[in-house]
Structure 1
Amino acid sequence: MLRGVRTLAGRPDHGPGGSGNRSRGGVHPDELDSIIRTISSELNVAAGDPDLAVAVAKNAAKTVQLFCVKSEQLLCTQGEASQVIGPLTDGQRKNVAVVNSLFRLHGAVAKVISGLTSNPTLAEQALRSSLEGVQVLMAAAVEPLLQSVSDSLEAIIITMHQEDFSGPLSSGHRPEVPCSLYMRELQGFVSRSVADYFQHFQCLDFIYGRTESIAQRALLLFLRHASLLRPLGEGGKMRLAADFAQMELTVAPLCRRVSDLGKPYRMLRSFRPLLFQTSELISSSAVVGELIPYSTLLSFLFSRAPGELRSPHQRAEWSIARYSQWLDDHPSERDRLTLIRGALEAYVQSVRTRQGKEFAPIYPIMLQLLQRATSATS
């Protein structure tokens, strides 16, 4: 049994690792169909004999595994696999072809499994186990590209700090442009990434499952850096509010529906109204702690403080990029609140050193919110 499968999978001139297909990147569709037909037909023949069915299923699983090994050998792992500057490279085109071949094999074998109603569980388990390997290889094949796209999104988002949000309201009380320069660049990059790279994959659900994670990360980074902007004038608030609205449109191509992005999407929606609320209302908002972390709102309140009350990264003399990396490395609210507490304590010390008679109005609000946060996380 499965002599045909072993022959097709192992034949040096025609399998996924054969020289005849290196220019395409994946196995020829006709030969892939032949492998699938052989697996299906021999499993159907063995269906009446439980012991034989298990043996054939295990052999078919080995064929799938061999297909994965040879497909992995075809993958481009050099720098061109992760470039996102220009159009699809030959190496990226090869990786797309390999992933699409693996996707076709996965779907076909899954269909075979669904038709094995009379086969024992062991046969089904053997086949399903081999399909897990297919999924792992598909994920490994697209990971370099996905990581580059995610890194590029972060690099663009962080440039919001190069723009001026300190201005007052314009005479018409509306921002002069619908969104900021960095947001337009972000939108252009996402649109190009989808068109140049992701649309070539046939496994849409598989790709969406990963690009949605990129979109979630982008939303969280946007909220992080929006909360760190200072000084933030009334005109800057209006432009930032426009950026919030545009951010939903920006990540839309990376997911089926933006609402599918879950908590990051809800955080984006909940944060925007806070831009225009008083500090007292912000500190007592129902979303604080429940949806938006205390540390994020405290970071935002620094934008309303005088220069003497420095943000945590300013006190530590860190760049925005270094602080963002620190936040990635310290997801614990307790760690983040400790750093914020240090900034507030440094401010108190500076006021006492210059023998100031009172603190900035924002300070007691922030201190009270920090105390609530500390109690909630202890």
Structure 2
Amino acid sequence: KVSADVVGVVGTQAGAGHVPAGRLSAHDEEDAALEAAMRLLREQLVDMENVANSIIRPILTSATKYLEKLVLKLHKEDFQNPDLNRTSSYISDIENRLQAIKHKVLYLFDATTTPYEYSCRQMAARVVSFFIRQASLHQPMSEEGKMKLSTDIAQIQFAVGTVYNVEKLGALFKELKAFRSLLFMDTGGVPHCMEVRNAIVHPLNVLHHLFSRAATPSLLPLPHVHSGKSLEDYSEELDLLADMALEGTAQQYDCYYDTWQSISALVDAYEHAHEADAGQQAQLVEAIRGVGMAFWPPLDVTH
């Protein structure tokens, strides 16, 4: 294995003694020839990196798709009356699959190369983001269920960490930790907490999670349930919207406005069904609207 960094250093040093043509000594001519060879080698290393990308990316893309299917098994777990002494089966499946990927696929590649680093990061990021989304979409969830999910969050971090340091995912790592904290937060405090106000947790993930707190889940169905879509189809829709998002701008959540409108309509219907309830359910309605209005204020139709 040849390190491009080493070649770069050698090439630079080789060219350090370059002098104008016609005044080259035999030693300088050797240096010039070596510099030319190193330049050619650097170009070939770029080609080799592209080939490596073309090999490893399809493999890990396929592996990531399979991991997504395992994450979806989260919805087969009982988060209403869970067995807190048992590891969630989908977590065990994810751990086993990641171990297989590490020992049967990744060991074939040089872990110090850019293609390896980039591909592993992409796979880890997708598993973590997909997990957070599916965790937020699970309904219903009891207090014991939140404890079970909290344990799952710690275990998914450990599992993904076998192929990539989750802390290096930056914003996604922060969202994973913040979502875990959000689970145990009082409903009324959710719209005002730092995790939500600073969008550490994606606002749609916050809204989806709040749906899991409904006293009567059938009266507050999640958007995909209400529209008769599968979780896979709904996730694909959200992925397409995410591709349209203007990251890092004030408009980065604008592409989700129609999704918020659908959620808002469901909340209106839920409020009507619980109009005599001035307790927790009224607080839930207020919390959902508080989060939604913070990111998608009403459009000004007067201009």
Question: What is the identity, as a one-letter code, of the residue corresponding to 1:308?
Answer: L
Is the aligned partner of 1:343 residue 2:263? yes
Report deviation, 1:346: 3.7
Gaps of 5+ in 2: 20-31, 246-252
TM-score by length of 1: 0.64
- Name the structure 1 match of 2:22: none
Equivalent-residue separation in structure 1 for 2:166 and 2:155 (angstroms): 12
Q: CA RMSD in A?
A: 2.9
- Name the structure 2 match of 1:55: none
Report deviation, 1:109: 4.6
- Name the structure 1 match of 2:154: 245
- Name the structure 1 match of 2:91: 183
Is the aligned partner of 1:293 residue 2:218? no
Equivalent-residue separation in structure 1 for 2:90 and 2:288 (angstroms): 30
Alignment of 1:98-247 (within 5 A): 103-104=1-2, 106=4, 109-110=7-8, 112-118=10-16, 119=18, 123=36, 128-167=42-81, 175-177=84-86, 179-206=87-114, 207-247=116-156
Equivalent-residue separation in structure 1 for 2:299 and 2:161 (angstroms): 34
Report deviation, 1:193: 0.9
Pick closer, same or farther for the CA change 1:289–1:117 going to 2, 3 Å: farther
Q: Helix, strand or coil for the counterpart of 1:204? A: coil
Report deviation, 1:350: 6.6
Pick closer, same or farther for the CA change 1:134–1:376 going to 2, 3 Å: farther
**Maintained 8 Å contact 2:271/2:285:** no
TM-score by length of 2: 0.78
Question: What is the identity, as a one-letter code, of the residue corresponding to 2:176?
Answer: L
Q: Map Cα deviations across residues 282-311 of structure 1 (whole Å, 9 max, x no partner).
A: 221101142112111111101112321221
Report deviation, 1:363: 1.1
Question: What is the identity, as a one-letter code, of the residue corresponding to 1:343?
Answer: I
Question: What is the identity, as a one-letter code, of the residue corresponding to 1:215?
Answer: A
**Maintained 8 Å contact 2:64/2:123:** yes
Gaps of 5+ in 1: 1-102
Report deviation, 1:201: 1.9
Report deviation, 1:132: 2.3
Question: What is the identity, as a one-letter code, of the residue corresponding to 1:369?
Answer: V
Question: What is the identity, as a one-letter code, of the residue corresponding to 1:194?
Answer: K
Equivalent-residue separation in structure 1 for 2:71 and 2:57 (angstroms): 21
**Maintained 8 Å contact 2:71/2:90:** yes
**Maintained 8 Å contact 2:11/2:39:** no
Higher RCO structure, 1 or 2 (CA under 8 Å, sep 6+): 2
Question: What is the identity, as a one-letter code, of the residue corresponding to 1:316?
Answer: S
Residue of structure 2 aligned with 1:278, choices 186, 190, 198: 186
Is the aligned partner of 1:366 residue 2:288? yes
Pick closer, same or farther for the CA change 1:377–1:261 going to 2, 3 Å: farther
Equivalent-residue separation in structure 2 for 1:132 and 1:284 (angstroms): 49
Higher mean C-alpha displacement, 228-237 vs 337-346: 337-346
Equivalent-residue separation in structure 2 for 1:287 and 1:209 (angstroms): 28
Q: Helix, strand or coil for the counterpart of 1:221? A: helix
Residue of structure 2 aligned with 1:316, choices 209, 227, 248: 227
Pick closer, same or farther for the CA change 1:258–1:348 going to 2, 3 Å: closer
Identity %: 22
Report deviation, 1:369: 1.6
Equivalent-residue separation in structure 1 for 2:76 and 2:148 (angstroms): 14
Report deviation, 1:348: 2.1
Say which one has the larger Rg.
1
Q: Map Cα deviations across residues 192-250 of structure 1 (whole Å, 9 max, x no partner).
A: 11011111223434323321221111111111111101000122111101001111110
**Maintained 8 Å contact 2:267/2:285:** no
Report deviation, 1:337: 4.1
